[in-house]
Structure 1
Amino acid sequence: MSTEPPAGAAVIAAHPPDTARLTRARWATVAVFLLLGTLLGTWFSGVPRFQEGLRLDEDALGMVLLAPTVGSLIGMQLAGRLVGRFGCGPVVRCTAVTLPFTLPLVALSARPAAAVAALVLFGVVDGVQGVAMNVHGIAVERGLGRPVLSGMHAAWGVGALLGGAGGTAATALGLTLLEQFSIVAVVMAALGAVVGRWLLPRDAAGGPQRATGAARGWRAGWTRSVAALGIMGAGVMLCEVGISNWGAIFLDDERAATVVVASLGYVAFSSAETGVRLVGDRLNRRLGPVATVRGSAIVALLGLAMIVLPPDAGWNLAGFVVFGAGLAVINPIVFSAVGHGTSEAAELAISRYTTLIYTGVLGGPALIGWLANGIGLTAALACLAVPLVVVLAGSGLTAAAKPR
């Protein structure tokens, strides 16, 4: 029997993966997700004071709050080109330092028009960072040869909770919105500069694939696979924002729960989602992406049934927990499937995918409201089973999520 090493073994031995650098890059990416979540949690907690400062009624506030979403959609389209030219690490490093300072610009706005401009800028940088940090996470996965993206998404949830708590503390201390946003900006930018040193350089091995020439056009990245996975991701986001926006109203109106109990619905949902994401990578490694997504969709369907069927607020709250646990790891795995499975540049595929899932973010609350007017809120929430069945049917597409 031959004792010669298999083909390519000499190359692998000569160029082993830099595990230490990849490990540092992994935790740096976790930190960036945490920082972004904290920034967004800070903004969400400051919206009431922002509204009061500009004296906006509900209709005007709703229109102004569309600005960061529009900006994010623009940023997502720019992100693919920026990452392709400069690399995901440098783009994440730049946005981690610059994004925090867009919040004080929002607080400085004396007129709604200026606030809209500042929020569009906030959204653009946020959209670029959102794509770049997911591409960076996928590059780290490819280098390490194992899934790590779910834990990164968990850090975002933890950051959002920290930002919200910080906003509550700032209000209690009597800080103005500008003071709060300025303190957060300086601290977050400084932390972003520190962890940015550990991100992968542009030419790092295992980084995103590169497309050249005509493939860099605006239509690049729109493949059938990305579209199909994008529909799955949009369905998951529709479920998330549907429960986030309407869960408390459901418990209040349909189950006659107290205000405290009604407010616990979102807390239970988001806490379960974040907690399961912390162990999501282990589940993915043990079960494989297809089985994990398939099982998660079934768990989410069970949780949805516990929310809409029993006429008991206690069972419904337990349903929020199960529903959040079921949704938790689906999108991180689908992100990996998009990044690892594309034949084009990963950054382009991720930018297109994030654009598609935003349709669920934008349309989810309005769709539930429209259905609720016609068939009632309980039946409208029950309709969330449809996108979950779509995820269940398309779970085989996530086989590409295994890093190679």
Structure 2
Amino acid sequence: MTLTVSRTAHRATTALFLVSGLSFGGFVVRSAALKVEHGLDDRAYGLTSVLFGGVAIATMQALGPLLRRVGPEAVARVAVVTLPLAVALLGAVPGTASYVAAIAVVAAANGALDVSMNATAVRAEQRIGRPILSGCHAAWSIGITVATLAGTASLAAGVPTAAHLAVAAAVAVPVALVAGRRLPTADEVERSLPGTGPTTDVPPSGSTGGRPARPVPRPRSGWSPAFARVAVVGVVLMVAEGAALAWGAVLLHEQRDATLAVAAAATTAFTAAQTLGRLVGDRLRAAWGDARLFRRGAVVGACGLALGALAPHPVAAVAGFALLGLGGATLVPIAYAETGRLDPSGRSAARLSVFVYAGVLAGPAAIGLVAAGAGLTAAVALVAPLLAASALVLPRAAADGSPTGSDLPEASRQAR
């Protein structure tokens, strides 16, 4: 693979995340308006959220055989175009029944893109030979930030929902089409992935310092204790993120008597710091390695979450949520990278997406249930030790001698 091809694949993969963030952000920022326009009461609106999560997870599970057969890149080509069009459909359909059906379509497209783009990114990182996953997730963060800012401006200007979502789709679809065309084919990916050949991979004798080279077994994509660790940590990371996004502002307003504006700053500080951390995350992965960076990030994030939950002054709490965003920025990308080391084919990455999505849906609800008995401050604070404990579980790469982020084969050197 030439250096030019590597760069093209990197940019195309990153664009998948950008379109996902733009599309999902457009949906989220208009959700309250859609509720009113389609005449949904609180119960019906809550049920649509349950429907969205259920359809997305079911789609991820159902796509497993297709991902194995045609590769995640092929699925991503379709899903990345379908999602912005499906979101635009939300503003155009008449009546409640049609809206619910459109929600199911958006959920299916979002689930398909989520699972395929992460698997595609894991395979791309393995082929390119250097960390790229943090940058991909940064593109998603940038996309959703741009979409929510544009949506807020359109609401302030009185732009109808249908027009706003149609324009957003008109911007996202061309990017999606270009990205899809520049993704490699399944055959190109399979030929270039390390450890996916019909036999074992044997390193050159020079790479072992003159000692006889040992065969490297082909990675397995099935369930294993190593993948179970990644899956559990993936859920914990999403619970911690949900603590900031769903409950941070509520905690500051109701427990610390912060104004609504100051309380909202907790969410803004978290997302801004997370985006910043992801923009530099790949450089840190290359410099420190995934194992060291994950341990440091998990500890910093846990301290930030504890500060956000327990600080008596709202300003200190906002700083704590910013610290959580900064420390936790690279943790999800590293979890996906770990699946790439376990299984370069991307199948384990696709499976991890199901657990990550489950954590997104179940995390805020679980915190709410604990808060009903122990109080909101305690419920949010209890997530901090869980996040810190994840540093002891993942990644295990440094302990078992397998490569970390800085030890990926530098394919770009070979291209030179």
Fold similarity call, TM over 0.5: yes
Q: Tell me whether 70-79 or 370-379 shows the greater mean CA deviation.
A: 70-79
Deviation string, structure 1 residues 241-294 (Cα, Å, up to 9, x no partner): 121111111111111111110110000001001100111111111111111110
For 1:331, give the aligned amino acid.
V
Which structure 2 residues correspond to residues 4-403 of structure 1 after superposition, within 5 A? 17-204=1-188, 205-207=191-193, 221-342=222-343, 346-399=345-398, 401-402=404-405, 403=408
Residue identity opposite 1:173 in structure 2: A
Shift of 1:67: 2.2
User: CA contact under 8 A between 2:227 and 2:342: conserved in structure 1?
Assistant: no
Contact 1:79 1:347 in 2 (8 A): no
Q: Distance in 1 between matches of 2:271 and 2:374?
A: 27
- Rounded to whole Å, the distance in 2 between the matches of 1:369 and 1:104 is 32
Match of 1:11 in 2: none
- Shifted more, 188-197 versus 286-295: the winner is 188-197
Secondary structure (helix, strand or coil) at the match of 2:91 reads helix
Shift of 1:340: 2.3
Q: 1:133 to 1:396 in 2, by over 3 A?
A: closer
1:156 Cα deviation after fit:
0.2
- State percent identity of aligned pairs: 32
How far apart are 1:170 and its partner, in Å? 2.1
Summarize deviations over 1:297-337 as a string: whole Å, max 9, x none: 11012112321333111111111111111111011001011
What is the distance in 1 between the residues matched to 2:160 and 2:397?
46
Deviation at 1:351, TM superposition (A): 2.2
What is the distance in 2 between the residues matched to 1:265 and 1:398? Answer: 34
Does the aligned pair in 2 maintain the 1:78–1:128 contact within 8 Å?
Answer: no
Deviation of residue 211 (structure 1)?
10
Q: SS at 2:391's partner residue?
A: helix
Inter-CA distance 237–230: structure 2 relative to 1 (3 Å threshold): same
Aligned-partner residue type, residue 372 of structure 1: A
In structure 1, the residue matched to 2:205 is none
1:172: how far off? Answer: 2.9
Stretch deviating more after TM superposition (377-386 or 274-283): 377-386
Q: 1:396 to 1:336 in 2, by over 3 A?
A: closer
User: Does the residue aligned with 1:311 lie in a helix, a strand or coil?
Assistant: coil
Q: Distance in 2 between matches of 1:207 and 1:103?
A: 34
Aligned amino acid, residue 53 of structure 1 = E
Mean CA deviation greater in 380-389 or 240-249: 380-389
Q: Secondary structure at the match of 1:222?
A: coil
Task: Report the Cα distance in structure 1 between the residues aligned to 2:246 and 2:48, rounded to whole angstroms.
Answer: 18
Deviations 1:42-61 (A, max 9, x none): 00011011000111122211
Q: 1:307 touches 1:315 (CA, 8 Å); kept in 2?
A: yes
CA distance in 2, matches of 1:207, 1:52: 49
Contact preservation (8 Å) 2:39, 2:96: no
> Alpha-carbon deviation of 1:231?
0.4
Q: Which runs of 5+ in 1 are unaligned?
A: 1-16, 213-219
Rounded to whole Å, the distance in 2 between the matches of 1:140 and 1:161 is: 25
Question: What per-residue deviation string (whole Å, max 9, x for no partner) do you get for residues 80-137 of structure 1?
Answer: 3223222332322222222211113222333333222211221112111112111221
* Residue identity opposite 2:381 in structure 1: A
CA offsets, 1:159-199, max 9 Å, x none? 00111112122223332211211222222111211222221
Alignment RMSD (CA, Å): 2.1
Deviation at 1:368, TM superposition (A): 1.1
Q: Is the 8 A contact 1:103 1:122 kept in 2?
A: yes
Using the TM superposition, give the Cα deviation of residue 348 of structure 1 relative to its aligned residue in structure 2, in angstroms: 2.5
- Bigger shift: residues 172-181 or 322-331: 172-181
Alignment partners' CA distance in 2, 1:398 and 1:178: 48
Q: Residues 227 and 353 of structure 1 are in contact (CA less than 8 Å); yes or no, is this contact kept in structure 2? A: no
Cα distance in 2 for residues equivalent to 1:38 and 1:51: 20
State the AA in 2 paired with 1:381. Answer: V
Q: What is the TM-score with the length of structure 2 in the denominator?
A: 0.86
Give the secondary structure class of the aligned counterpart of 1:395.
coil
Q: Which runs of 5+ in 2 are unaligned?
A: 199-220, 410-416
Task: Indicate conservation of the 8 Å contact 1:71/1:119, yes or no.
Answer: no
SS in 1 for 2:192: coil
Matches of 1:83 and 1:209 in 2, distance apart?
Answer: 18
How does the TM-score come out when normalised to structure 1? 0.89
Letter in 2 for 1:262: A
Does structure 2 retain, via aligned residues, the 8 Å contact 1:76–1:127?
Answer: yes
Paired residue secondary structure (1:146): coil
Q: Distance in 2 between matches of 1:159 and 1:117?
A: 25
